[in-house]
Amino acid sequence: MQNGAQIEYDYSVAKAFTFATILFGIIGMTIGVVLAFQLAFPQLNNLAGEYGTFSRLRPLHTNGVAFGFALSGIFAAWYYISQRVLKVSLKESPFLMAIAKLHFALYFITILLAVVTLFMGISTSKEYAELEWPLDILVVVWWVLWGISIFGLIGIRRERTLYISLWYFIATFIAVAMLYLFNNMEVPTALVSGYGSWIHSVSMYSGTNDALVQWWYGHNAVAFVFTTPIIAMIYYFLPKESGQNVYSYKLSILAFWGLLFVYLWAGGHHLIYSTVPDWMQTMGSVMSVVLILPSWGSAINMLLTMKGEWQQLQTNTLIKFMVLASTFYMLSTIEGPIQAIKSVNAIAHFTDWIPGHVHDGVLGWVVFMIMAALFHMVPRMYKREIYSKSLMDTQFWLQTTGIVLYFTSMWIAGITQGMMWRAYDEYGSLVYSFIDTVTVLHPYYTIRAVGGLLYLIGFFMFAYNIYKTIRCGRVLDKEPVNATPVAA
């Protein structure tokens, strides 16, 4: 292909992952809303026998949104962005094309199997690593396929220098591979003993060590699924959509390498006042605070990219989504370090403030950014204008309201409960029995469930808007350069 000639990018795999993003988003978030209502109205636990209890559904929600929804979005963005920043089409290599298709197929099968096994209660119990060993092996296979796709495409690239987004994708690939392998080290019991269920396994680590490895993984699964690939997206989509250059290359370098170095230390903050050695807890706590620097480095770099162009917030709803995402990223990455301070953690740990923190991060930052990415990609992949601007705007405000209801109610719930657990009367007796600290949360659980429901309704509007765009958006004769065209 000659210089200057238009490269025909191939979006078949990106489209497949886009479909999966919306499907798993609907499933995962719907279960999330059910869970929220169950905490407020416990009768809802009895609707589907053993398969409908809060406890059985909770891993389905976390796995569904993290590894179903978010990962699909990340892979969709990868198969879209990579071709463009490397200046190479997937079509040029039949081998890489086959790898990419296999990657999607195996990934999709794994998530479906995950849904079935988790419903059945087949679980290792380790958070975000609940899948049993046969599924772990499948995960490793398609992760390696993704790696081949990453380094294969890079190998045949025309653009010599790797764009910032690619740094973050590479980091995601390597870090998750390392974390996942070490945390899922387990021994299948039927293979050793010849008895019992073939799918059951037992962890290679015990007790405190298991906890340490688990939270080294658990915290950094957040880092390398909910942070680095999402930063990869915003570094591509925000400059592209706004027509602005990234504010600072130096800040990008500082934020990237800083994040990689510091993030992995912070897992210890999940284990403060536990039985892991005190020095590890302190390291986890200190490094969590240091983590503010690289996190805010990226967020500020993004916000300053909009310098002098803030009027785009009024004209372009997509910019609004991405600016709000960066802002929630800043909120979430200051809140996390606060919770990691030992004296705050003493109150916050084990309370609803923790899910509150997770959700302002994922709802405000991760999901908003993934939806913005899809809004940017779909019109270019299908060569159609976005179906409705008013639907986008309504969705934006509905979901923003939902997030605010969610995290404010959980802040209050968490701090209320944390303070009640430690309240003493003048005779030195505990004031509240445990159940007192549960019933008091009912109003906050109700508000949170309503917030979640608003957010879910917004997501359905998003899915409908994307569907209508693909089916009957006005056809575009050439690809838009920057701002994505939206029908009024």
Partner 1 sequence: MFHWFEQRPFFFAVLVFLFISFAGIVEVIPDFAKQSRPSVGTKPYSVLELAGRQVYIKDSCNACHSQLIRPFKSETDRYGMYSLSGEYAYDRPFLWGSKRTGPDLMRVGNYRTTDWHENHMYEPSAVVPGSIMPAYKHQFTNKADLDTAYAEAYTVKTVFATPYDQDLNGDGKIDVELGDYETAIAKAKEDAKAIAAGMKNEAIKADVEKGQIPEIVALIAYLNSLK
- # chain residues binding partner 1, by CB under 8 A: 92
Q: Which is nearer to partner 1, 2 or 43 (CB)?
A: 43
Residues 71-110 that bind partner 1 (CB under 8 A): none
Among 17, 26, 33, 45, binds partner 1 (CB under 8 A): 45
Q: Which is nearer to partner 1, 58 or 240 (CB)?
A: 58
Helix (H, G, I), strand (E, B) or coil at 175: helix
Q: At what angle do helices 442-472 and 368-382 cross, to 10 degrees?
A: 10
Separation between Cα atoms, residue 287 and residue 266, nearest integer Å? 6
Asked if residue 42 binds partner 1 (CB under 8 A), the reply is yes
Asked if residue 55 binds partner 1 (CB under 8 A), the reply is yes
Please state, in angstroms and as integers, the Cα–Cα distance from residue 55 to each residue in 104, 117, 119, 121, 347, following that order: 30, 14, 10, 10, 24
* Closest of 342, 305, 309, 340 to residue 326, by C-alpha: 305
Asked if residue 216 binds partner 1 (CB under 8 A), the reply is yes
Residues 400-429 that bind partner 1 (CB under 8 A): 421-424
Asked if residue 48 binds partner 1 (CB under 8 A), the reply is no
Please state, in angstroms and as integers, the Cα–Cα distance from residue 46 to each residue in 41, 105, 115, 121, 437, following that order: 11, 35, 20, 16, 23
Residues 2-41 that bind partner 1 (CB under 8 A): 38-39
Residues 330-389 that bind partner 1 (CB under 8 A): 346, 349-352, 354-355
Binding mask 110-139 for partner 1 (x = CB under 8 A): -----------xxxxxxx------------
Closest CB 234 distance from partner 1, rounded Å: 19
Q: What is the end-to-end Cα distance of the chain in Å, rounded? A: 38
Closest CB 289 distance from partner 1, rounded Å: 15
Torsion of the alpha carbons at 144, 146, 151 and 156, rounded to the nearest 10: 130
Binding mask 136-175 for partner 1 (x = CB under 8 A): ---------------x--xx----xxx----x--xx--xx
Asked if residue 261 binds partner 1 (CB under 8 A), the reply is yes
Asked if residue 50 binds partner 1 (CB under 8 A), the reply is yes
Q: Which is nearer to partner 1, 6 or 125 (CB)?
A: 125
Q: Which is nearer to partner 1, 57 or 318 (CB)?
A: 57
Residue with tokens 């429901």: 453
Please state, in angstroms and as integers, the Cα–Cα distance from residue 8 to each residue in 5, 13, 83, 92, following that order: 9, 14, 10, 10
Distance from the Cα of residue 171 to its chain's centroid? 15
Separation between Cα atoms, residue 165 and residue 236, nearest integer Å? 6
Residues 448-467 that bind partner 1 (CB under 8 A): none
